[in-house]
Structure 1
Amino acid sequence: MNTTSDTLHALKPTIDRMPDPAGRAEAAALESELAAVHGVRHAITVSSGTAALHTALIACRTGPGDEVLLPAATVIMTVAAVTATGAHPVFVDAAAGGRGMDLADAAAKTTERTRAIIPVHLAGRTDGLVELAAYAQSVGLHLVEDACQAQGSRTRGRAAGTIGTIGCFSLKDGKIISSGEGGYLLTDDAELAARAAAYRTHWLTPAPHAPAGSRLGMNYRLAEPLAALARHNLTRLNTALARRREQARLLYDLVGETPGLAVHAPGPEDDPNGYSALWRVDLDRPRDFSTRLAEDGVANSVGTYRLRAAHQHPACQYLNPAPCPRAAQAVDQMLAVTLQPQTTDTELHHLAETIRREAKSWAEGR
């Protein structure tokens, strides 16, 4: 894959002839192309994946006094998007085996104040998504997919981010398709799309029952140079997706049946994008093991980025979250090895060797 500098050089003629930013020509073209690629009616570009989540919730009329259900096994950015609306995040425990949200717990925590449910597709996984979507529809709730790590993932033949009311994506570096920073929303609902488009531009455009200038909004616009870069990279989506899946498969093969590590295999109807190679750590002090790997150059969600279940995160304690023990265990035992487009096969061999060596040493108490 081209480096950012190489891609910018290739795009220089496009950038040189770019119209005034107020015209938003590149962003508008990117939206059309994203909608076509994903097979939906509307795509709305924004400045980040977090902005996409915030904008989607606002489009769904989420606000103070509302509640939003989301998995305790999530990144803190998802929680921040909920609290930015003034709504209260309600954490749902993980299903057995840490696979998606527990439907029984979600149902028990659904109240008359619940406005939406946010499934989070960590590491590109969509465990239990179809069943959760059916539940949301049965009780009249919006399903806002956090698909920021799931570009290209599919379940039962359907693309992640197109199963719920709105799908939210990131274009940050490291994603399957990126532009350095940015994000977008997908939806088939014209009214929600109009509200999202209005909100991301200070409500300078109208939406049904909300004329231009009648609401407060944000500046969540995607910059034109980043939109141009995303358009260029979008043309390579299939190639980029195939490469990421190839990287994950190679790493699984190289690590093999290492004692203490169990591959987190996808469900029979799921086809993840290979965003991260994913294992369950069955060793003592799994979080410390992931930290040890990070210190040895194996970047991973827990050891490098300090992922922890949201209800245990220091920044969430003021929310008085209920315990979610299965989610806590699932996150603590998660080894999600970070893959990048530029990671070479030689580097993957080195990562696998390090993982095997450290797992053996850890099991032996060294």
Structure 2
Amino acid sequence: MTAADGTAVEDLSRLLAQMPRPAGAEYVAALEDELATRFGVQHAVAVSSGTAALHTALLSLSVGPGDEVLVPALSVVMSVAPIIQAGARPVFVDCDRQGRGLDLDDLAAKVTGATKAVLPVHLWGRQGDPVRLAQAAAAHGLAVVEDACQAQGSRTGGRAAGTNGDVGCFSLKDGKIVWCGEGGYLLTDRDDIAGRARALRAHHLPPYDGQPETVGYNYRLAEPLAIIARSNLARFDDLLDHRRGQAQQLAGLLAATPGLKAATDAAAGDNGYSALFRLELERPRAFCEHLARLGVPNSVGTFGLTAADRRPALARYAGSPCSQAEMVIDRTLAVVLTDHDTEERINGYAQTISREASTWDTHR
């Protein structure tokens, strides 16, 4: 047990001894202060999930009915749902050739008079070029809401993911670098966004105004979860190094495997959220599904990841196909990692992947 773990146990014991008690947020407030300091921003606002963070961020920017939000087709459905929940329309943008960021030419072509914001998604912990994206957004008068839920600790140009736009959104769900089971937070340097977010997460009942101007939500983070999140945040560097080490371990074990090319790039600032490989095998999507059945968890095979504009539930919002995003997803093996995966388990993943790749052309 680490010192941080011991402190968390003591704090949980003290909190439980005081419950039930009047609503308070002692540990949430402490977590917010520590997050803001850690990432070098003015404000951190803790909420109940990464989805709640995105929804709250959009509402804090007054995104609503009649508005459009540009969002990558190279994203998960959880990145798109908050746009719809806010009453706005998602407009899907294709990715660049590497699948790291948005195709800025496609973005410019899809801006209309109704476009209010762009919501880049740092899938698998990878960012595009945040400076160029910020310039493109500014040229069109768009706010930037970063979905950095999978990108805790990723950095580009010396800046942390989630601190390049107007507001960055993160998840604290188990499996993330910093986790507490369920939860999320926003990072921003804008006082207006932070103020609205704090009101919206608590039914829009701020202490300075007993008459809410709009209906808010129950998006508060529970105090016991804040204690767990603080414990993990205290060992953030170790957790980040561990995840990067796991991704590098798997990449090294598979370096000589035909048909696979490592795509995680620590030198580019990736956090190693998933171990990524570009597949040069026939029927790559089927290969990912085959690995999932053999116990190798991965984005495509286990969770059915597909380009967001191809999802039936989002078909009404689809425009011209984002073919590059579809190709990147279908040709990416993203092995799901957690901080509990041992060297033995990762070695087992490598053995299975290597064995199945070497005989894949015999599978029909």
Do they superpose with TM above 0.5? yes
Quote the residue 1:323 is aligned against. Answer: 321
- Please report the RMSD computed on the Cα atoms of aligned residues, expressed in angstroms: 2.0
The answer to whether the 8 A contact 2:53-2:186 is kept is: yes
How many percent identity over aligned positions? 52
The answer to whether the 8 A contact 2:244-2:266 is kept is: no
Query: Post-superposition, which runs of at least 4 consecutive aligned residues in structure 1 deviate over 6 A?
Result: 5-8
The structural deviation recorded for 1:232 is 1.3
Task: Give unpaired runs (5+ residues) of structure 1.
Answer: none
SS of the residue 1:22 aligns to? coil
| More displaced 10-residue stretch of structure 1: 41-50 or 279-288 | 279-288
Quote the residue 1:255 is aligned against. Answer: 254
Quote the residue 1:226 is aligned against. Answer: 225
Deviation per residue, 1:188-226 (Å, 9 max, x gap): 00011101111111110179xx98511111110001111
Measured in 1, the distance between the counterparts of 2:49 and 2:130 equals 23
The structural deviation recorded for 1:112 is 1.1
Deviation per residue, 1:67-105 (Å, 9 max, x gap): 000100100001101100010000001112323110000
Measured in 2, the distance between the counterparts of 1:274 and 1:135 equals 27
Quote the residue 1:137 is aligned against. Answer: 138
The structural deviation recorded for 1:257 is 2.6
The structural deviation recorded for 1:305 is 0.5
The answer to whether the 8 A contact 1:40-1:186 is kept is: yes
The structural deviation recorded for 1:139 is 1.9
Quote the residue 1:335 is aligned against. Answer: 333
Seen in structure 2, the aligned counterparts of structure 1 residues 300 and 242 have a Cα distance that, compared at 3 Å, is same
The answer to whether the 8 A contact 2:71-2:92 is kept is: yes
Measured in 2, the distance between the counterparts of 1:21 and 1:360 equals 61
Seen in structure 2, the aligned counterparts of structure 1 residues 322 and 31 have a Cα distance that, compared at 3 Å, is same
Structure 2 residue identity aligned to 1:23: G
Seen in structure 2, the aligned counterparts of structure 1 residues 21 and 176 have a Cα distance that, compared at 3 Å, is farther
Quote the residue 1:217 is aligned against. Answer: 216
The answer to whether the 8 A contact 2:264-2:275 is kept is: no
Measured in 2, the distance between the counterparts of 1:63 and 1:297 equals 42
Quote the residue 1:283 is aligned against. Answer: 281
> TM-score, length-normalised on structure 1?
0.94
Matches within 5 A, 1:199-210: 199-205=200-206
The structural deviation recorded for 1:309 is 0.1
SS of the residue 1:63 aligns to? coil
Structure 2 residue identity aligned to 1:79: V
Quote the residue 1:178 is aligned against. Answer: 179
Matches within 5 A, 1:1-366: 9=9, 11-16=11-16, 20=21, 22-205=23-206, 212-266=211-265, 270-365=268-363
The structural deviation recorded for 1:128 is 2.5
The structural deviation recorded for 1:141 is 0.8
Seen in structure 2, the aligned counterparts of structure 1 residues 363 and 206 have a Cα distance that, compared at 3 Å, is farther
The answer to whether the 8 A contact 1:15-1:228 is kept is: no
Deviation per residue, 1:25-71 (Å, 9 max, x gap): 11111111110111000000000000000000000110000000010
Measured in 1, the distance between the counterparts of 2:328 and 2:10 equals 43
The answer to whether the 8 A contact 1:123-1:149 is kept is: yes
The answer to whether the 8 A contact 2:288-2:300 is kept is: yes
SS of the residue 1:303 aligns to? helix
Task: Give unpaired runs (5+ residues) of structure 2.
Answer: none
Measured in 2, the distance between the counterparts of 1:316 and 1:358 equals 34
SS of the residue 1:304 aligns to? helix
> TM-score, length-normalised on structure 2?
0.94
The answer to whether the 8 A contact 1:11-1:229 is kept is: no
The answer to whether the 8 A contact 2:149-2:169 is kept is: yes
SS of the residue 1:302 aligns to? helix
The answer to whether the 8 A contact 1:175-1:275 is kept is: yes
Seen in structure 2, the aligned counterparts of structure 1 residues 243 and 98 have a Cα distance that, compared at 3 Å, is same
The answer to whether the 8 A contact 1:143-1:164 is kept is: yes
SS of the residue 1:251 aligns to? helix
